A and B are shown apart, each in its own frame.
Chain A
Amino acid sequence: MSTKRESNFLADVDLTREKLVNRLFYGTLVVASVFGLVMLVLLIADVLWEATQALSTFDIDIGNFLTGTSSSRAEQAGFGASILASLWLMALTAVLAFFIAVGCAVYLVEYAPENRTTRLIEANLANLAGVPSIVYGLLVLALIVNDAGLGSVILAGAIALALLIVPIIIVATIESIRAVPSSVRDGSYAMGATKWQTIRRVVLPQAMPGILTGTILALARAIGETAPLIMVGTMLHATRYPSGPLSSFSAMPTQIYNWTYQADRMFNGLAALGIVVLLLFLVAMYALAGYLRNRYETDDGSISNV
């Protein structure tokens, strides 16, 4: 980079050591990233390989697979009832978790007194997000399924998943709300807006892209969760389409799980196909989250410039 003339001026600056450290550090980072990337590619390749193997080995009708119900006979088993159950689960989980989490985050940031208790609660949200998901399953099994007598229905599963992701959404929402510059809030208050008007008309709209992104990413985690649903209790084979929140069900991950330990090898093939479908859902959700983030990023940028 430096020309001859410059190097005369900079002759007394020796950067050899720093440059070496830089290169070493850079190398470490590259190795770490490549490792993650390689694992991801291996995983996807394995899943796709299994799925193509299944398609070529067994006589699987894709149409029936995507729309049919599962069955104890592998030749007739489909994934449709599980896909529908997962959609129901996601919808209910999203509604339950979103409103509770956003309400909680708004309270914590805007209304809660700034004291020890508030700080303690906030600090522990991250811990709550790390609780093993099976614990939420157990809780719902005891309280909702048995005590409240709701039974092993979609709503019970949704409550378990909602409990699981509420802390994640709260953390994302708190960050998005805090990121709204105080100058904009001041602008609203100075116009004679009340606190609630300021929150509803200025703070929440501006935080919404971040909140939605956080919610979708949390749902992407929930859609693959198996343990809490097994705890809540699901059907071995989703032999019926769920008709509503109070139907018994087996969602995508539990159906895949159940298929994998069947003796009939064809069920294992179906499981491989099911995983591909589940992954497609995940990719779609990540894409949506990424789209939201990019779409609003430019706006955020110009706000922080002011």
Chain B
Amino acid sequence: MSSNTTNERTTGESTSETEGLSDDTIIETDISVGPDSSRTTGRPNTIVSADSLDVYYGDDRALSDVTIEIPEHRVTAMIGPSGCGKSTFLRSINRMNDRIPSAHVDGALSFRGKNVYDEDVDPVALRRKIGQVFQSPNPFPKSIYDNVAYGLRVQGKADDVDLDDAVERALRGAALWDEVKDQLDESGLDLSGGQQQRLCIARAIATDPEVILMDEPTSALDPVAASKIEDLIDELVEKYTVIIVTHNMQQAARISDKTAVFLTGGELVEFDDTARIFENPDDDRVEDYITGKFG
């Protein structure tokens, strides 16, 4: 992933589909378990996994030796004190870390079994499978409609689908349609913070990604807006896999199936079913962190 090759690759618009990430390989594994039942019965597939993953910024190690298997169609929460590398982990899944010149990665991070840091993986193609919602809402200074249509347009799918229909579906999926259906031409920036964040979720799901990464998506919102997003996440997981970073223990306990606890130094100290992490963690430091003794 020298920056040269990355640049060269990212300039083509339609050539971004690579072998390892072509649609065929991905859908095969997708059908095995029905999304709804899979949440309560059966063992889900692993969709994202890390194997001895280290991430450095220059010489500073932000993640050290992280090994994890994140299940499909589940909500996985990442918790831990500030600076422990949660955002770094999230960004290394969709290779947004490539945008930080000093960042580099050791070890493997796989999406559906394919190491996303392999030479033949184009980060642009990868990001078309893995959507992201950021900490503060960042809608484009465009109309609500254009915000939602953005992904379909840049991914060259706008001509293949009924765009109006796709925009409506995405906005409904983000529980925003009823509030904005009469003002689709207005700027996305005129919405409230909570609405903007749901607009960003609509933008992310409009292109039907497989995984949605969320980095503290409710930390800039009031409790009512936050609980709307939480309800939404509960629905999203029927179609998508959600990986969410949060500083809010209650939130992690409420919405996630699995919880990963990172501690200072970029170590993943525990990863298990959320219920067990919160009731009976193995590691004392995790217990201390969850009960608020430090962090």
The interface of chain A, by Cβ under 8 A from chain B, is: 111, 114, 181, 183-184, 186-197, 201-202, 205-206, 299, 302-303, 306
| Bound Cα distance A114, B100 (Å) | 12
| Bound Cα distance A176, B3 (Å) | 25
Minimal beta-carbon separation of B267 from chain A (angstroms): 26
Query: Interface segment, B35-43, B137-145, B275-283?
Result: B137-145
User: Given A201-B150, A299-B187, are A192 and B128 neighbors across the interface (CB < 8 Å)?
Assistant: yes
Which residues does chain A contribute within 8 Å of B142, judged by CB atoms?
205
Given contacts A190-B96, A196-B13, A306-B137, 12 further A-B contacts (CB under 8 A): A181-B138, A184-B140, A187-B139, A189-B96, A189-B127, A191-B150, A191-B203, A193-B150, A194-B16, A195-B10, A302-B190, A306-B139
Q: Are A194 and B136 in contact (CB under 8 A)?
A: no
| Bound Cα distance A111, B131 (Å) | 25
Which residues does chain B contribute within 8 Å of A191, judged by CB atoms?
127-128, 131, 150-151, 154-155, 203-204, 207
| Bound Cα distance A202, B132 (Å) | 17
Q: Which A residue's beta carbon lies closest to that of B193?
A: A306
Q: Which B residue's beta carbon lies closest to that of A193?
A: B154
Q: Are A195 and B7 in contact (CB under 8 A)?
A: yes
> Which residues of B211-260 have CB atoms within 8 Å of chain A's CB atoms?
none
| Bound Cα distance A248, B207 (Å) | 57
> Which residues of B66-112 have CB atoms within 8 Å of chain A's CB atoms?
94, 96, 99, 101
For B119-142 the 0/1 string (1 means CB < 8 A from A) is: 000001111100110101111111
Q: Are A186 and B96 in contact (CB under 8 A)?
A: yes
Q: Is B261 an interface residue when CB atoms closer than 8 A count as contact?
A: no
Q: Are B127 and A183 in contact (CB under 8 A)?
A: no
| The one of B136, B139, B155 that contacts A192, using a Cβ cutoff of 8 Å | B155
List 14 A–B pairs whose Cβ atoms lie within 8 Å, in order of A's numbering.
A111-B7, A114-B101, A183-B138, A187-B138, A187-B139, A187-B200, A188-B150, A190-B131, A191-B203, A192-B207, A194-B13, A194-B16, A195-B7, A299-B187
The interface of chain B, by Cβ under 8 A from chain A, is: 7, 10-13, 16, 94, 96, 99, 101, 124-128, 131-132, 134, 136-142, 150-151, 153-155, 187, 189-190, 196, 200, 203-204, 207
Which residues does chain B contribute within 8 Å of A189, judged by CB atoms?
96, 99, 127
Minimal beta-carbon separation of A106 from chain B (angstroms): 13
Which residues does chain B contribute within 8 Å of A183, judged by CB atoms?
134, 136, 138
Q: Which A residue's beta carbon lies closest to that of B142?
A: A205
Q: Are A201 and B154 in contact (CB under 8 A)?
A: yes
Q: Which A residue's beta carbon lies closest to that of B137?
A: A306
Which residues does chain A contribute within 8 Å of B99, judged by CB atoms?
186, 189
Q: Are A197 and B187 in contact (CB under 8 A)?
A: no
Minimal beta-carbon separation of B140 from chain A (angstroms): 6
Which residues does chain A contribute within 8 Å of B94, judged by CB atoms?
190
| Bound Cα distance A167, B222 (Å) | 46
| Bound Cα distance A306, B150 (Å) | 19
Q: Are B200 and A194 in contact (CB under 8 A)?
A: no
Q: With a 10 A CB-CB cut-off, give which of B12, B128, B187, B189 has the most chain A CB atoms.
A: B189
| Bound Cα distance A205, B150 (Å) | 14
Minimal beta-carbon separation of A268 from chain B (angstroms): 52
Minimal beta-carbon separation of B146 from chain A (angstroms): 9
Which residues does chain A contribute within 8 Å of B124, judged by CB atoms?
192-194
Q: Are B140 and A186 in contact (CB under 8 A)?
A: no
Minimal beta-carbon separation of A196 from chain B (angstroms): 6
Which residues does chain A contribute within 8 Å of B101, judged by CB atoms?
114
Which residues does chain A contribute within 8 Å of B127, judged by CB atoms?
189-192
| Bound Cα distance A202, B94 (Å) | 20
User: Given A191-B154, A201-B154, A303-B189, are A196 and B11 neighbors across the interface (CB < 8 Å)?
Assistant: yes
The 7 closest A-B pairs by CB, nearest first: A192-B128, A190-B132, A192-B127, A193-B154, A183-B138, A191-B151, A187-B138
| Bound Cα distance A184, B136 (Å) | 10
Which residues does chain A contribute within 8 Å of B128, judged by CB atoms?
191-192
